[in-house]
């Protein structure tokens, strides 16, 4: 009989999170596909911070544990818009859906996790517009604009994405 391989990343799941007032609660059931730290001006303006840290995960792997968030339609840099899921009481954004991935992939705001330090970024993107005082760690890939997922995503994440697209 083969021994099961358990990695440290699988031991932290489910990973809970939610808004400030705790009305909207959720949990990630599995590791995300990929975590990117976006330094584009849209994310800076939308978050009111120097960047947005998003964990991309299949929407059906995010379990809602509390009240449903309210979906707010907003513009995006692509011109296709995005849907931001916000708590209807405290208005914290917990995740988004972008036109390119549609409703099948949630971009969970890592800062809304109970333990956000569990999901550091896999890559820094749009570094051409990052704030000059933000110092990027040399061990994490960084690109001036967006990235080619075939180059940066783990094979397992690419396979999960392929399966997700085939199912729709």
Q: How do residues 136-166 score in pLDDT, each as one tens digit?
A: 999 999 999 999 999 999 999 999 999 998 8
Domain residues for 144?
Answer: 12-167
Q: 132 is written with which tokens?
A: 């000059």
Q: Is residue 3 part of a domain?
A: no
Q: Is residue 98 part of a domain?
A: yes
Q: For the whole model, what pTM was predicted?
A: 0.90
The terminus-to-terminus CA distance of the chain in angstroms comes to 36
Number of domains within the chain: 1
> DSSP letters of 71-137?
EEEE--TTSS-EEEEE-TTT--EEEEEETTTGGGEEEEEGGGBSSGGGS--SEEE-GGGS-TTPPPP
CATH of the domain at 47: 3.90.1590.10
Q: Is residue 4 part of a domain?
A: no
Q: What is the pLDDT of residues 92-111, one digit of tens each?
A: 999 999 887 889 999 999 99
Q: Is residue 143 part of a domain?
A: yes
Average pLDDT, the chain: 92
Task: With a cut of 60, say whether residue 7 has pLDDT above it.
Answer: no
């Amino acid at each position: 009989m083969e021994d099961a391989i358990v990695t440290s990343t699988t031991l932290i799941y489910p990973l809970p999170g939610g808004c400030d007032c705790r009305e909207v609660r959720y949990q990630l059931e599995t590791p995300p596909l990929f975590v990117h730290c976006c330094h584009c001006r849209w994310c800076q303006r939308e978050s009111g911070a120097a960047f947005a840290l998003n964990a991309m995960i299949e929407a059906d792997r995010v379990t809602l544990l509390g009240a449903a968030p309210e979906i707010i339609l907003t513009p995006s840099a692509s011109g296709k818009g995005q849907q931001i899921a916000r708590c209807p009481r405290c208005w914290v954004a917990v995740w988004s859906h972008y036109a390119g991935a549609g409703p099948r992939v949630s971009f969970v705001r890592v800062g809304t996790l109970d333990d956000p330090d569990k999901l550091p970024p896999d890559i820094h993107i749009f570094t051409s517009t990052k704030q000059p005082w933000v110092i990027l760690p040399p061990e994490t890939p960084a690109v001036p604009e967006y990235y080619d997922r075939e180059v940066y995503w783990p094979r397992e994440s690419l396979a999960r994405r392929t399966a997700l697209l085939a199912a729709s």
